[in-house]
């Protein structure tokens, strides 16, 4: 058993070293504060939506990391990440109770890397080389104001945070810091220029600049010197400019005199429980529910009747008797009301080259004939839900543990779907969580989409905050592309989102008459949306993720400076021991 270090003196033999114990308690307190700060940051996300918390929750971690050595910084960043990730992704418990406990440490590692980078940048950007060469005591007492160094450091740390978010964007670009501001419409308009990373950058920049200002104020307290906190003032200016840009952009949209067309969409929210492995009776019930809702909406003659993703858990185009009934009833509905339809279904098709059957998660577009006139295959299937990554390299026991007995094929075609009888309306499709991936909506906008359409099914999460978080992450696609978005969900978030991210209409309303998109329940209705016929591309649509590219350049430049200073320090420390120096002494 390990024992605490003791001071070997006769007067305190066997008594733990009080300085050591105090150090341990302080370190534990530091980790606890980091964890609590991460937990606080999670409250800015749904379901609490305490948006303002995001602008202060990183101040304490930033302050605690200033001057921290690399390993303690790494540990603190990991604790912060745990505190943030566990409540933010606790909805995963509805798939498997273990998943939040597995996901949180993985996400914590990302924040640990950010904190490690923070420590490196602080040492080499904020502490001049002459101070470092003077020794540890000089470093500890160093309190000189250095605005340009601090500004460069704050920018680099903020850019690094954006890079960390980008590095985890492959499997799940979910709950970025920007998502905390999904209802702050004026601020998020900068996403039409920078993408979501612009909002993340501003949040981190403001937090860290305040931490620096507090640290400097405490160090210089009593000295009579209170220099201007230039990073903090810069952050305020950037935040003000972002808000003014948002207001100006919203006004310019309202004054824009472009041609638009009103499209009436029939949205159905059947509120069917999760039925991936449905029995015949469960599939029949789902079909009956959606047919009943359809016959309420179809007489209103919408331009398109929309069913959500896999509303009926049997394929439309299969030989099973229930699938035959499914096709017949859908066809009869279309013929009765002459209303085109879009519905989500698993689709089986042979490969053109080999004839091997492939399985897709597909949105099928039917005209009034009724015939399937177009389709969209899901481009970004869900890892472990719709396919097993690296299946061929995994052992059999691991596959049995995580396999859902299917590997869906990813689609490759981003082409928008032309609305039957209204071909000026081009639908940029997303299925399920694809609406959290910026590249899909952007590519569809590039190809001419003027209305984003999402069909989803969040029935996997019947009680948690996942559907609201899904919606919060999705609104940024409308802002980035400057296009309206319609969402049709099986159990929530069936609504219309304007190009500025505002939810303008939904199947449910609250007591004040405002859209209530996150209410669960069975509903249907026709919602209207104004679609621009020739929408001007946003800066983000034109130039893509240029901002995150700039973050990589900024952070790379900062670390290059750090490396140069490291080499200079090493050279200075070794100079007395070089042969040339020794010869001169001789």
What span, in angstroms and rounded, lies between the C-alpha atoms of 222 and 269? 64
Element (H or E) spanning 425, and its range?
strand 422-431
SS (H, E, C) 258-324: CCEEEEEEEEEECCCCCCCCCCHHHHHHHHHHHHHHHHHHHHHCCCEEECCCCCCCCCCCCCCHHHH
- Could you tell me where the beta strands, DSSP code E, fall in 371-411? 372-377
DSSP 474-515: HHHHHHHHT--EEEEESSS--EEE-TTS-EEEES-B-TTS-B
Per-residue confidence (pLDDT) for residue 1, from 0 to 100:
41
Q: Is the pLDDT of residue 12 over 60?
A: no
pLDDT (mean) for 265-279: 90
What span, in angstroms and rounded, lies between the C-alpha atoms of 98 and 586? 69
pLDDT band at 76 (very low <50, low <70, confident <90, very high): very high
Q: Is the pLDDT of residue 128 over 90?
A: no
What span, in angstroms and rounded, lies between the C-alpha atoms of 42 and 37? 9
Q: Is the pLDDT of residue 7 over 60?
A: no
CATH code of the domain occupying 260-533: 3.60.110.10
Per-residue confidence (pLDDT) for residue 132, from 0 to 100:
81
DSSP 100-155: HHHHHHHHHHHHHHHHHHHHHHIIIIIS-HHHHHT-HHHHHH-----HHHHHHHHH
pLDDT band at 16 (very low <50, low <70, confident <90, very high): low
pLDDT in tens, 185-206: 999 999 999 999 999 999 999 9
Per-residue confidence (pLDDT) for residue 138, from 0 to 100:
78
Q: Is the pLDDT of residue 14 over 60?
A: no
DSSP 194-251: H-THHHHHHHHHHHHHHHHHHHHHHHTTTTT-----HHHHHHHHHHHHHHHHHHHHHH
Per-residue confidence (pLDDT) for residue 398, from 0 to 100:
62
Query: Which candidate, 77, 87, 82, places its Cα nearest to that of 42?
Result: 87
Q: Is the pLDDT of residue 463 over 80?
A: yes
Per-residue confidence (pLDDT) for residue 13, from 0 to 100:
52
pLDDT band at 3 (very low <50, low <70, confident <90, very high): very low
Which tokens is 205 given? 């920049």
What span, in angstroms and rounded, lies between the C-alpha atoms of 153 and 157? 6
The string over 191-211, giving b where at least 16 C-beta atoms fall within 10 Å of a residue's C-beta and e elsewhere, is bbbbbbbbbbbbbbbbbbbbb
Among 141-150, 449-458, 464-473, the least confident range:
141-150
Burial of 321 (0-12, 13-18, 19+ CB in 10 A): exposed
The domain ranges of the chain are: 18-255+551-573, 260-533
pTM for this prediction: 0.92
Q: Is the pLDDT of residue 572 over 90?
A: no
Query: Which candidate, 448, 456, 449, places its Cα nearest to that of 474?
Result: 456
To the nearest whole number, what is the mean pLDDT of the chain?
90
Three-state DSSP at 530 gives: strand
Three-state DSSP at 326 gives: helix
Which tokens is 13 given? 């033999």
Chain-centre distance of CA 504, in angstroms? 22
Query: Which candidate, 77, 84, 67, places its Cα nearest to that of 153?
Result: 67
Element (H or E) spanning 431, and its range?
strand 422-431
Among 76-80, 169-173, 320-324, 446-450, the least confident range:
169-173
Per-residue confidence (pLDDT) for residue 85, from 0 to 100:
97
532 Cβ contact list (under 8 Å, min separation 6): 258, 259, 260, 450, 483, 484
Per-residue confidence (pLDDT) for residue 361, from 0 to 100:
92
Q: Count the Cβ atoms, other than its own, within 10 Å of residue 69.
A: 9
pLDDT band at 2 (very low <50, low <70, confident <90, very high): very low
């Amino acid at each position: 058993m390990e024992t605490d270090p003791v001071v070997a003196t006769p007067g305190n033999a066997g008594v733990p070293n009080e300085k050591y114990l105090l150090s341990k308690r302080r370190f534990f307190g530091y980790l606890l504060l980091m964890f609590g700060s991460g937990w606080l940051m999670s409250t800015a996300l749904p379901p609490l939506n305490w948006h303002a918390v995001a602008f202060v929750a990183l101040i304490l971690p930033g302050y605690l990391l200033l001057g921290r050595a690399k390993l303690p910084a790494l540990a603190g960043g990991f604790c912060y990440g745990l505190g943030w990730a566990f409540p933010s992704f606790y909805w995963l418990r509805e798939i498997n109770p273990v998943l939040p406990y597995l996901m949180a440490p993985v996400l914590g590692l990302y924040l640990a890397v950010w904190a490690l980078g923070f420590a490196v940048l602080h040492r080499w950007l904020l502490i001049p080389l002459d101070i470092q060469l003077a020794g540890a005591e000089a470093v500890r007492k160093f309190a000189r104001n250095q605005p340009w160094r601090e500004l460069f450091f704050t920018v680099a740390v903020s850019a690094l945070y954006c890079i960390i978010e980008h590095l985890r964007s492959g499997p799940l670009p979910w709950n970025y810091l920007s998502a905390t501001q999904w209802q702050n419409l004026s601020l998020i308009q900068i996403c039409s220029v920078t993408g979501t990373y612009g909002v993340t950058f501003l949040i981190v920049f403001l937090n860290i600049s305040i931490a620096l200002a507090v640290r400097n104020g405490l160090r210089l307290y009593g000295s009579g010197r209170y220099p201007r906190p230039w990073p903090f003032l810069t952050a305020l200016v950037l935040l003000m400019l972002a808000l003014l840009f948002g207001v100006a952009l919203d006004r310019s949209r309202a004054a824009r005199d472009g041609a638009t067309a009103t499209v009436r969409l029939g949205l159905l929210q059947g509120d069917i429980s999760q039925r991936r492995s449905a029995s015949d009776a469960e599939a029949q019930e789902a079909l009956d529910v959606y047919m009943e809702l359809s016959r309420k909406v179809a007489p209103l003659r919408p331009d398109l009747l929309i069913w959500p993703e896999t509303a009926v858990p049997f394929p439309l185009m299969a030989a099973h008797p229930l699938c035959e009934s499914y096709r017949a009833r859908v066809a009869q509905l279309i013929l009765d009301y002459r209303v085109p339809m879009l519905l989500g279904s698993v689709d089986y098709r042979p490969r053109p080259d080999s004839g091997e059957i492939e399985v897709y998660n597909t949105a099928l577009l039917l005209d009034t004939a009724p015939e399937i006139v177009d389709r969209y295959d899901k481009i970004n299937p869900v890892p472990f839900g719709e396919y097993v990554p690296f299946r061929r390299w995994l052992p059999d026991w691991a596959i049995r543990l995580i396999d859902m007995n299917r590997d869906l094929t990813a689609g490759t075609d981003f082409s928008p779907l032309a609305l039957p009888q209204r071909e000026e309306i081009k639908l940029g499709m997303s299925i399920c969580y694809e609406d959290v991936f910026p590249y899909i909506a952007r590519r569809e906008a590039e190809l001419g989409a003027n209305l984003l359409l999402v069909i989803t099914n969040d029935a996997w999460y019947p009680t948690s905050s996942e559907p609201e978080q899904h919606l919060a992450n999705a609104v940024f696609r409308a802002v980035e592309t400057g296009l309206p978005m319609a969402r049709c969900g099986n159990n929530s978030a069936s609504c219309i989102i304007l190009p500025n991210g505002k939810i303008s209409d939904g199947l449910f309303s609250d007591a004040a008459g405002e859209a209530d998109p996150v209410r669960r329940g069975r509903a249907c209705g026709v919602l209207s949306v104004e679609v621009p016929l020739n929408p001007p591309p946003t800066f983000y649509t034109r130039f893509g993720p240029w901002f995150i590219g700039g973050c990589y350049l900024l952070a790379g430049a900062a670390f290059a400076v750090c490396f140069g200073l490291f080499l200079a320090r090493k050279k200075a420390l070794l100079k007395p021991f070089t042969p040339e120096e020794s010869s001169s002494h001789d």
